[in-house]
Amino acid sequence: MSRKRKRKQQKFTIGMKRKLVVLFLLVLLAFVGLGVRILLINRNNGEEYEKQVLSQQEYDSTTLPFRRGEITDANGTVLAYSEKVYNVILDVKQLLYDEDYLDPTISALVTNFGFDESELRTYISENPTSQYHTLAKELSYEEIKAFKDLQTAGSDTYNSNIQGVWFEETYIRKYPNGSMASDVIGFTTSDNNGLYGLEEYYNDVLSGTPGREYGYIDEDSALERTTIPATDGNSIVTTIDGNLQSIVERYLAEFNEEHKNEAHEGNGANNVGCIIMEVDTGNVLAMASYPNFDLNDTKNTDALIGMPMVDENGNKTGDYITEENLETLEGDVLLQNFNSLWRNFCISDTYEPGSVAKPFTVATGLETGIITGNEVYQCDGYLNIGGYNIKCHNTYGHGPITIPSAIEQSCNVAMMYIGQAIGADIFTKFQTQFGFGLKTNIDLAGEARTEGLTYTAEQMGSTELATNTFGQGFNVDMIEMITAFCSLINGGKFYEPHVVSKIVNSSGATVENIEPRVLRETVSGSTSEKIIEYCNLVVSGENGTGKTARPAGYMIGGKTGTAQTLPRGNGEYVVSFMGYAPADDPEIAIYVVVDRPNVESQDNAKYATTIVKKILTEALPYLNYPMTEEVTEEEQAELDELMANIVTPITSSSTEGASGEETVDGDATEGASGSEEGASSESSSDAASSSSSGASDDATTETSQIWKSFEVDPETGYYIDPSTGALINPDNGNSIGGDALPDFDSSSTGSASSSAASSDTTE
């Protein structure tokens, strides 16, 4: 049995060997035949197939860029758009496929684009297999059209030997108005992502979806292409009025020209900001600050000259950027200084508001019923609280003063008395109600977070409460302040501020309407009416601190502000004016802040009020508000000059400048004294009177203008205090120099929120 299996096994093995030999020969012949066939195809049809493969490589999985949405102003003026441009790409491998391609293609590149012929030939010889080399970037269609005609069959200049060059489509962001609204708009990076402003906040809305283009060879060896088109981004329509924006920016730039390099080398102020807002909607009509920058050239270092210099951590060094030291800025330090330029001062920088906070103190007292508005207080120039003599701006005192007059003349002492009556619990509650310490959630990137820059009731001692009543010791930003102020004068409605009114798609259809949104009620209608009445006196009253803000032919209302910066007594101030028009029925609000004007004496709100006057003198007629006041000959001359200087609607009034030696603002030196000398018992205990039958306005004026009996300095026209030698502003008794009481440092109390006193605290 085993022998039979052995014989069968031996017979099978021999047969298989013969078959395997035959099979091997057949396979070998097949491979030989296939190889011959490949050689024949390559010889006879290789060029055709290679072109198809190259064509497929060019189009296979090509990304098609989307067009970023536009940004327009409220009138439809384009503020930002994306323009299609082309990169010139060289495919050396395709160019070298046929020797007939080389010279005509190089000649066409040199003729149409001005490339260096020797450099082209050197690159081609050193990189024969390169299939993607960028020769030029971001050319317009007009710049490439002549060359494309050379490649287009049927054109008059078609040349089939122009090969190995193709054009890659992409988009670049353009800003047709240069620096206009630069802080609001922001800009994009090279990869089409938004930075700052609307570009960053609405980046997902403005961005679209890239498309794809695929190429493949079908069964008939024909090149087939499939395209999935890109989806363009949506556009946004802003609430910004380009004409108003131009007016605002022109006068901010004018202020800079008037005061740059005046007291020191640098811009006219560290920052100057302005916001115009609709009172009953929260719509921002204009928002600007100086310095600004060209959105089409964001890294132009010329824009940095005159700014406060910052270090690699973004902290101010105390120096200002000049043409000389600009060359030393590099790396992270240069980037930090650019970041300082690009940030939006109106929403990103915080500061102590000063006396523009006084209407909020009064509104709190009225709304709670703690005061009626009929009270009369005794101002002796200071009030002793917590062992400190906290000064009024008028160190000689206003005498008996009513609440309307306290707002008109910006009396610190009256505010402190009101604050004592209110108490820390209610005061801090209403601060939160007004939005202090909270973000407004405006639709712009970079809003400062002011949480922790205000006091809680537990942290607020008597001195902190006193200084807070007149706007010192806590920080705000501009958008926070004007939004809260609008609620005071519109009947109590706190609107969420916004800069975009509508989102539309690439076809122009509306995707979303952004309607005004009331977040809460801050005060009652009756309180609002009283605040308007009091703030009107600031401009119209005989002793109003904001008289210089009134535009020709119009009556407005508002409040001045002058806030000391840290360290106290450094002579540096943030001055401001918060106003509205029309005076009898506010519809628009305006807020101008000048951060440390470049002048010898900074404590002068006229630097802000003068800007407001110029802006509104031009803006109110543009907005079709009828004049309410008789125009004097002097004002008419100003208006004539203004009209003569206006070239176009979208792009002056009185050239009256703010003098460093004129302190018109009634709260020009407001602060608190650090003197250990206590107030007399008569001053501290009998100063306040809640009697509604207080002194008349005449008595108040007579008592509070004692300086008019002093001798006059012939050089300045100011009165000279015989006791201290200080110069006294004849308009309101503000003292300059001399031996006035030292300023009270609110941070010395050890408060948990003492950091709020810094003017430079930002998110």
Q: Which two tokens stand for residue 633?
A: 């000959």
**Closest of 328, 316, 314, 308 to residue 264, by C-alpha:** 308
Q: In which residue ranges of the chain is pLDDT below 50?
A: 1, 8, 56-59, 648-666, 668-704, 737-763
| Residue 695: both structure tokens together | 């002194």
Residue at 117: amino acid letter: E
Letter string b/e over residues 138-159, b meaning 16 or more CB atoms within 10 A of that residue's CB:
ebeeeebeebbbbbeeeeeeeb
**What burial class does residue 323 get, using C-beta atoms within 10 Å of its C-beta: 0-12 exposed, 13-18 middle, 19+ buried?**
exposed
The 3-state DSSP class for residue 742 equals coil
How many CA atoms are closer than 13 Å to the CA of 178, on its beta-carbon side? 8
> What are the structure tokens assigned to 211, written together?
């498309």
> From edge to edge, which strands make up the β-sheet containing 376-379?
399-402, 376-379, 688-689
Cβ-Cβ contacts under 8 Å for 646 (sequence gap 6 or more)? 618, 652
Q: How far apart are CA 385 and CA 683, in angstroms?
A: 11
Spatial separation of the C-alpha atoms in residues 207 and 66, rounded to whole Å: 8
Indicate the pTM of the whole model.
0.81
Integer Cα distance of 75 and 640 in angstroms: 27
Contact of 640 with 617, CB cutoff 8 Å: no
Q: State the pLDDT at residue 64.
A: 87
62-234: which CATH number, 3.50.50.60, 3.90.1310.10, 3.90.550.10, 3.20.20.140? 3.90.1310.10
- Which of 482, 513, 686, 683 lies closest to 586, judged by CA? 482
Give me the pLDDT at residue 699, please. 38
Q: What is the CATH number of domain 349-491+522-593+663-757?
A: 3.40.710.10
- Spatial distance between the Cα atoms of 93 and 282, rounded to a whole number of angstroms: 61
Which residues are CB-contacts of 265 (< 8 A; sequence separation ≥ 6)? 306, 320, 322
Rounded Cα distance between 422 and 149, Å, is 80
Of 251, 248, 256, the closest CA to residue 276 belongs to 248
Q: Are the CB atoms for 560 and 605 separated by under 8 Å?
A: yes
Helices (H), ranges, 79-178: 92-95, 99-113, 117-126, 141-151
Q: Beta-carbon neighbour count of residue 411 at 10 Å?
A: 31
Q: Quick one: tokens of 705?
A: 């203008």
Lookup result for tokens 């005159």: 306
**What is the rounded CA–CA span in Å between residue 125 and residue 410?**
80
Question: What strand order describes the sheet that includes 223-228?
Answer: 62-64, 211-217, 223-228
Q: Which residues contact 171 (CB under 8 A, 6 or more apart)?
A: 65, 66, 67, 68, 82, 83, 84, 85, 192
Please choose, from the candidates 384, 393, 315, the residue with its C-alpha nearest in 3D space to the C-alpha of residue 355: 393
Picking from 288, 351, 289, 291, the residue whose alpha carbon sits closest to that of residue 321 is 291
CB 209 within 8 A of CB 66: yes
Q: How far apart are CA 335 and CA 332, in angstroms?
A: 5
- How far apart CA 81 and CA 743 sit, in angstroms, is 52
First-to-last CA distance in the chain? 99
According to DSSP, the residues that pair with 577 across neighbouring strands are 560, 592
Q: Is 102 helix (H, G, I), strand (E, B) or coil?
A: helix
Measured CA to CA, the distance from residue 180 to residue 651 in angstroms comes to 10
